[in-house]
Amino acid sequence: MTRPPDSGRRRFLAGSMIAGGSLLLGGCDRLSRSGAMQPLFDASESLTQRAHRLLASRESLAREYAPEDIAPRFRANGTTRPDEAAYQRLAADDFRDWRLRVDGLVERPSEFSLAALRAMPSRTQITRHDCVEGWSCIGQWTGVPLGDLLDRVGVRAPARFVVFHCADRYRGGDSYYESLDLREAYHPQTLMAYALNDATLPIANGAPLRLRAERQLGYKMAKYVMRLELVDSFAHLGGGRGGFWEDRGYRWWAGI
Amino acid sequence: MSATDRTDRRRKPTVIRRHPPFTRLWHWVNALCLAILLMSGLQIFNAHPALYWGQDSRFDAPALSIGAERSDTGELRGVTRLGGWRFDTTGVLGVSGPTADRERRAFPAWATLPGPRWLSMGRQWHFLAAWIFAPLLAAYLLYLVIGGRLSRQLLPRRHEWRQLGSVLWEHLRLRFPRGEAARHYNLLQKLTYLLVLFVIAPLVVLTGFTMSPTLDAAWPWLLDLFGGRQSARTLHFLCAFALLAFFLVHLLMVLASGVVNNLRSMITGRYALPPEKEPRDDTPSR
C-alpha cells in the first residue's frame, strides 16, 4: 500500500506561496503610493523618537575618536558646490562679507561674521558622520557650540526649533533648510562648524559654516548655513515638514 | 481484506496539542514582519550597496560591493565584488530588469520593498516592522524562559547529543522521526531554534540599534560590542541572510515532513504524530 503522491498538493502550495508573495509585494507597493500606511508610519516614528529621548539623555555624547581614525578624505554629499550667484560672490572673497543672521523668536536679533564666530569659545571633536544611505566617515570638526550662540542672542520662551536656512538649492530645486529642536540644539556636541581636520571648512563640506548634530543622520547637518531662525513651528516653511529631505518623505527625527 | 488491515485503517493517529496560541500568533506575525524587514532592508541597502568592517567606510576597500560597469560593447554589466573576487551578476545583482530596460540597482526590484528605488519609503516600512518584530521577539523569549518551555522543549538532553550523527544523517535523507519520537523536537530542531531565537534574532536587533547615531550615544557599548558601526551594518546584513537561509530550510522541512499536518499545528495547534511504521520502504536502518 503506497501513500498517494502529494506532488500536486505541493505544487499547489508552492504556487499559492508565490502568488501570496507577489500579492504582498504588489500590495505593499500600492500601500506605499496611496499613503494608507502613513498613520502607522507616523506612529512608529513618534515611538522611535520617544524611545530615543528616553534612552539618550540630554548630555549623552556621541563617540569621539582618536586622530588616527580620521578618514583620509571626508566624503562630501548632497550639494558640493552651490552655483547661486550670491554664494559664489561670497566665496570669491573667502566669505569676508558673509554674515550669519540669527533672528526669529530671540531677544536680540544679531549678525555674526566668520571672524566673530572664530573669536568665540570653540569646541573640537572627532566624530563619525552617518549618512542615511548607510556609509560612515570620521572627521574632526571645530566650531561654536550652537547653545553658546543661542545664549548670546537670548531665546524667547515660545521658541521650540532652530531652523537652518542654507545658501544652496539642491539640484536647482528648493532652498535647503533643516531644523532641530532646542534639546538637540543645546547638546554639547552640536556645533556651527567652520573647520574640518584643522583646515578651513572646504566648500564641498559646507563652507563657510555648517551644522554638526552628532546624534542625528547626515541629512540633518545643513551646509552653507546663512541664517538661523528660532520658531515655535516650522509648518509655514518649505513643505512644512521641517527640512528639505523631510519635505521629500524622510523623517524629521533623524536619530536612526 | 483481512481483519488486521481493517483495524489498521480505523486506527486514528495520535493528535497532540503542539503549539500554544501565543506561539502560533507570534509565528505568523513574525513571518510577515521578517518578509517586510528583509525586502525593505534590501531597498535600504541599495542606497549604498557596499559593506565595510570597522568604525567607518573605507570607500576604496569594501568587503562587499555591488555595482554596474559598461562592458567593451557598451552593455551594462552587474558586477559583485567580494573581497578580492569579482563576479558578473548581470540580471540579478548590480544590473537587472527587463532586457530592453536594464536598470542599475544592487538588488532587483522583485526583491525590494517598495519595488522602485525609494529609500525613504523603504525606511518607513523597515522601522514599522521592526517595532512589531523586536518587542514581540523580546516577549516571546521571555515567555520561553519564564514559562519553562525553554528547558522543557528546547534545551537538548544529555543523551540526545549521542544521536547527533544519526539525526543529521536521517535529516539529509529527508526522513523524520515518527510516532512517539515525533512528540518532541529532535536535536537538530532544538539546536536550530536555539540558534535562531537566542543568537541570530537578538543579534539582528542589536546590530540594527548600532546603526542609530542616537542609540550609539545612549549605549556606547554597542559600538564596542560589534567593533564599530560599519561592522554592525555588515553583521546586520549577514544576520538577515542567515534568517533567510533558515526560512528556506524551514520551508523545505515543512514541505518534506507533512505540509498539511505542520501547517495545521501552526494554525490550530493540533499535530498528528506520523504513524510509527511506514508500510513501504522500511529499509533496515538499525
Provide the number of structural domains found in chain A. Answer: 2
pLDDT of residue B226: 98
pLDDT of residue B1: 44
Closest CA to B271 of B28, B20, B65: B20
pLDDT of residue A27: 80
- Looking at the fold, whether B210 and B233 belong to one and the same domain comes out as yes
pLDDT of residue B12: 77
Closest CA to B37 of B152, B124, B106: B124
pLDDT of residue B3: 47
- Looking at the fold, whether A97 and A173 belong to one and the same domain comes out as yes
Q: Which residue of B has its CA nearest to A40?
A: B128
pLDDT of residue A86: 94
pLDDT along chain B (286 residues), means of 10: 49 87 95 97 98 96 95 92 94 92 94 95 98 98 95 92 89 88 91 97 98 98 98 98 97 91 94 76 49
Mean local confidence (pLDDT), A118-122: 98
| DSSP 3-state of A106 | strand
Residue A187 contacts residue A213 (beta carbons within 8 Å): yes
Cell numbers for B256, please give them. Answer: 518534506
Distance from CA of A56 to the nearest CA of B (A): 4
Q: Which residue of A has its CA nearest to B5?
A: A1
- Looking at the fold, whether A156 and A234 belong to one and the same domain comes out as yes
- Looking at the fold, whether A149 and A103 belong to one and the same domain comes out as yes
Mean local confidence (pLDDT), A9-32: 75
pLDDT of residue A21: 72
* A54 located within any domain: no
* B240 located within any domain: yes
| DSSP 3-state of A236 | coil
Chain B residue numbers touching A52 (CB-CB < 8 A): 212, 214-215, 218
- Looking at the fold, whether B41 and B159 belong to one and the same domain comes out as yes
* B176 located within any domain: yes
CATH number at residue A227: 3.90.420.10
pLDDT of residue B8: 52
Q: Return d(Cα B248, Cα A82) in angstroms, integer.
A: 50
Q: Which residue of B has its CA nearest to A17?
A: B251
Cell numbers for A187, please give them. Answer: 547638546
Q: How far is CA A205 from CA A89, A144, A202, B213, in A?
A: 18, 17, 5, 20
Chain A residue numbers touching B230 (CB-CB < 8 A): 135-136
- Looking at the fold, whether B75 and B168 belong to one and the same domain comes out as no
What number of helices (H) and strands (E) belong to chain A? Answer: 6, 10
Q: How far apart are the first and last CA of chain B?
A: 31
Closest CA to A14 of B255, B240, B130: B255
**Higher pLDDT, residue A26 or A186:** A186
**Higher pLDDT, residue A35 or B106:** B106
| DSSP 3-state of B214 | helix
Range of the domain at A110: 64-248
- Looking at the fold, whether B76 and B118 belong to one and the same domain comes out as no
CATH number at residue B36: 1.20.950.20
pLDDT of residue A22: 72
Q: What angle do CA A62, B220, A66 make, to 5 degrees?
A: 60
- Looking at the fold, whether B19 and B39 belong to one and the same domain comes out as yes
Beta bridge partners of A130: A136
Residue A177 contacts residue A165 (beta carbons within 8 Å): yes
Q: Return d(Cα A253, Cα A50) in angstroms, integer.
A: 10
Chain A residue numbers touching B124 (CB-CB < 8 A): 37, 41, 44-45, 249, 251
Instruction: Indicate the residue of A1, A28, A69 with minimum beta-carbon distance to B113.
Output: A28
Residue B101 contacts residue B95 (beta carbons within 8 Å): no
Distance from CA of B273 to the nearest CA of A (A): 16
Q: Which secondary structure element, helix H or strand E, spans residue A85, and what is its range?
A: helix A85-92
Establish if B230 touches chain A: CB-CB under 8 angstroms. yes
Instruction: Indicate the residue of B39, B45, B213 with minimum beta-carbon distance to A62.
Output: B213
- Looking at the fold, whether B230 and B160 belong to one and the same domain comes out as yes
- Looking at the fold, whether A39 and A81 belong to one and the same domain comes out as no
Q: How far is CA A89 from CA A86, A97, A168, B65, B220, in A?
A: 5, 9, 13, 40, 43
Kindly tell me if the per-residue pLDDT of A8 is higher than 80.
no
Answer positive or negative: Cα dihedral of B93, B98, B99, B104. negative
- Looking at the fold, whether B38 and B166 belong to one and the same domain comes out as yes
| Per-residue pLDDT tens digits for A183-216 | 999 999 999 999 999 999 999 999 999 999 999 9
Q: Which of B106, B141, B171 is the last residue of a domain?
A: B106
Provide the number of structural domains found in chain B. Answer: 2
Residue B238 contacts residue A139 (beta carbons within 8 Å): no
Cell numbers for A219, please give them. Answer: 541629512
Chain A residue numbers touching B215 (CB-CB < 8 A): 52, 55-56, 255-256
Distance from CA of B213 to the nearest CA of A (A): 5
Q: Return d(Cα B127, Cα A4) in angstroms, integer.
A: 46
- Contact call for A134 and B120, based on CB within 8 A: no
Kindly tell me if the per-residue pLDDT of A32 is higher than 90.
no
- Looking at the fold, whether A115 and A227 belong to one and the same domain comes out as yes
* B143 located within any domain: yes
Residue A210 contacts residue A222 (beta carbons within 8 Å): yes
Instruction: Indicate the residue of A10, A29, A48 with minimum beta-carbon distance to B259.
Output: A10
φ, ψ dihedrals at B27, nearest 5°: -55, -50
Strands A191-196 and A210-212: antiparallel
- Looking at the fold, whether B121 and B157 belong to one and the same domain comes out as yes
Q: Which of B73, B90, B106 is the last residue of a domain?
A: B106
Closest CA to A192 of A86, A112, A92: A112
Interface test with B, best of A7, A77, A136, A252 (most B CBs within 10 A): A136
Distance from CA of A61 to the nearest CA of B (A): 5
- Looking at the fold, whether A25 and A130 belong to one and the same domain comes out as no
Q: Return d(Cα B229, Cα B210) in angstroms, integer.
A: 6
In the block, cell 554596474 appears at B68
Closest CA to B41 of B246, B214, B250, B239: B239
* B148 located within any domain: yes
- Looking at the fold, whether B64 and B140 belong to one and the same domain comes out as no
ipTM, 2 dp:
0.92
Helix axes B164-172, B187-195, angle to 10 degrees: 90
Range of the domain at B125: 11-49+112-272
* A2 — pLDDT class (breaks 50, 70, 90): very low
φ, ψ dihedrals at B271, nearest 5°: -130, 125
Q: Return d(Cα B198, Cα B250) in angstroms, integer.
A: 17
| Per-residue pLDDT tens digits for A67-107 | 999 999 999 999 999 999 999 999 999 999 999 999 999 99
- Looking at the fold, whether B127 and B173 belong to one and the same domain comes out as yes
Residue A159 contacts residue A104 (beta carbons within 8 Å): yes
Q: Return d(Cα A211, Cα B223) in angstroms, integer.
A: 24
Beta bridge partners of B82: B64, B85
In the block, cell 534639546 appears at A183
DSSP states of B113-152: SSSSS-HHHHHHHHHHHHHHHHHHHHHHHHHHHHTSHIII
- The Cβ-side half-sphere exposure at B180, using a 13 Å CA radius, reads 0
